């Protein structure tokens, strides 16, 4: 008999491996990464809130990025840790829905926020005389609020559509969290119009921010090339390097997973790539925005003193 979605009370997360030794190794590895993510992002938020020198639009966006990364890693990693050391690999239907909803909402919000950060860099480099006037507190707050709102509205749409599927094939998810592709593979009906919805969400949440980021950097590059001072060019490039690194790592992994032809899908490869942008990337962001940033280093020294 078919298992309809209203009779599926839980899913089984296979994770990465069934080898007990490797599971313990992965547990330690993920625990260290999670601890670094929490400490790094929380510390960066505290520094930005407490140090008046960091009360600028750029650091306002960085602080919100750290907030998103802090919660994004918390959505995934605790369940991964439990799965690694426990014989119980299950996640309830409601837990799977919640994990899917919050992970999609936070991911989409981060896509929009990175686009807002690109606009901030464009104004700082291409329109420096108008920067303080244009990038007001109200505009920055609006851009951040719009990022959150847009992310979670789209997350609500995709979550509702995904979990109205008929999950009649199985309840085993060959992944470490409730992700879109493994869930779709379990569905046996209700796929009408779903692909069109996915293309719409991919365009609105990923491709549109990418286009805005590329447009911002085209104007930035044009401005830098018009500079006569080599030192000025290097300084302008350095202010964008951290954001460019974040954009490349984040969007690169997402596009690799969701824009490949279906014939080339490999769940094992996708697990590694999705681990990067869900678990590793939130740990890297505080390092990207602090290790090469003199203001953050000085704020950190001040905090320790």
SS (HEC) of the chain: CCCCCCCCCEEEECCCCCCHHHHHHHHHHHHHHHHHHHHHHHHHHHHHHHCHHHCCHHHHHHHHHHHHHHHHHHHHHHHHHHHHHCCCCEEEHHHHHHHHHHHHHHHHHHHHHHHHHHHHHHHHHHCCCCHHHHCCHHHHHHHHHHHHHHHHHHHHHHHHHHCCCCCCCCCEECCCCCCHHHHHHHCCCCCCCHHHHHHHHHHHHHHHHHHHHHHHHHHHHHHHHCCCCHHHHHHHHHHHHHHHHHHHHHHHHHHHHHCCCHHHCCHHHHHHHHHHHHHHHHHHHHHHHHCCCHHHHHHHHHHHC
Residue 297 pLDDT > 60: yes
Q: Which of 12-21, 123-132, 269-278 has the highest mean pLDDT?
A: 123-132
Q: Residue 263's pLDDT is what? A: 56
**190: alpha, beta or left, given left = phi > 0 and alpha = psi -120 to 50?**
left
Residue 3 has what pLDDT?
43
Is 109 within 8 Å of 68 (Cβ atoms)?
A: yes
Residue 201 token pair: 């969400």
The pTM is what? 0.88
Domain boundaries, given as residue ranges, for the chain: 10-304
Q: What is the pLDDT of residue 264?
A: 55
Give me the residues paired with residue 12 across strands. Answer: 90, 172
What is the reported pLDDT for 251? 86
Q: What is the pLDDT of residue 1?
A: 35
**Average pLDDT of the segment spanning 110-116:** 94
| Phi, psi (degrees; rounded to nearest 5) at 92 | -65, 160
For 90-108, the pLDDT digits (tens) are 888 889 899 999 999 999 9
Contacts of 292 (CB under 8 A, 6+ apart): 238, 241, 242
pLDDT at 85: 84
Residue pointed to by tokens 């992700």: 179
Query: What's the pLDDT score for residue 169?
Result: 60
Q: pLDDT: is 1 or 107 the higher one?
A: 107
- pLDDT-derived band of residue 265, with 50, 70 and 90 as boundaries? low
CA dist., res. 149 & res. 28, Å (int): 35
pLDDT in the model for residue 242: 85
Q: Is the pLDDT of residue 120 over 90?
A: yes
- Region 39-49: mean pLDDT is 91
The percentage of residues in the chain with a pLDDT greater than 70, rounded to a whole number, is 91
Statement: residue 152 has pLDDT above 90: yes
46 CB contacts (<8 Å, ≥6 apart)? 303
Residue 257's pLDDT band (cuts 50, 70, 90):
confident
Tell me the pLDDT band of 16, cut-offs 50, 70 and 90: confident
Who contacts 67 (Cβ-Cβ below 8 Å, separation ≥6)?
A: 41, 45
Calpha distance 39→240 (Å, rounded): 24
* 245 within 8 A of 289, measured Cβ to Cβ: no
Mean pLDDT, residues 55-69 = 93
Q: What pLDDT does 198 receive?
A: 79
The residue that leads in pLDDT, 222 or 304, is 222
CATH of domain 10-304: 1.20.1070.10
Q: What pLDDT shows up at residue 35?
A: 94
């Amino acid at each position: 008999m078919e298992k309809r979605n209203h009779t599926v009370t839980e899913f089984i997360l296979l994770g990465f491996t069934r080898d007990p030794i490797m599971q313990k190794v992965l547990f330690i590895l993920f625990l260290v990464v999670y601890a670094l993510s929490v400490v790094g992002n929380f510390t960066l938020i505290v520094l930005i809130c407490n140090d008046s020198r960091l009360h600028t639009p750029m650091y306002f966006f960085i602080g919100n990025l750290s907030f998103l990364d802090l919660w994004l890693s918390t959505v995934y990693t605790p369940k991964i840790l439990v799965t690694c050391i426990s014989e119980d690999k299950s996640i309830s239907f409601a837990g799977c829905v919640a994990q899917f909803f919050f992970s999609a909402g936070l991911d989409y919000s981060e896509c929009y926020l990175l686009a807002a950060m690109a606009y901030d860099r464009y104004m700082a480099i291409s329109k420096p005389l108008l920067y303080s006037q244009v990038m007001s507190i109200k505009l920055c707050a609006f851009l951040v609020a719009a990022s959150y709102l847009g992310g979670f509205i789209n997350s609500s749409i995709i979550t509702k559509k995904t979990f109205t599927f008929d999950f009649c094939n199985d309840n085993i998810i060959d992944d470490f969290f409730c992700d879109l592709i493994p869930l779709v593979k379990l569905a046996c009906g209700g796929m009408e119009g779903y692909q069109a919805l996915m293309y719409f969400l991919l365009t609105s949440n990923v491709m549109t921010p990418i286009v805005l980021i590329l447009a911002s950097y085209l104007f930035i590059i044009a401005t830098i090339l018009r500079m006569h001072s080599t030192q000025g060019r290097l300084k302008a490039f350095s202010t964008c390097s951290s954001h460019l690194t974040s954009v490349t790592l984040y969007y690169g992994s997402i596009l690799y997973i969701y824009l490949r032809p279906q014939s080339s899908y490999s769940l094992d490869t996708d697990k590694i790539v999705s681990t990067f942008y869900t678990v590793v990337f939130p740990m890297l962001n505080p390092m990207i925005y602090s290790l090469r940033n003199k203001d953050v280093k000085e704020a950190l020294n001040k905090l320790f003193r």
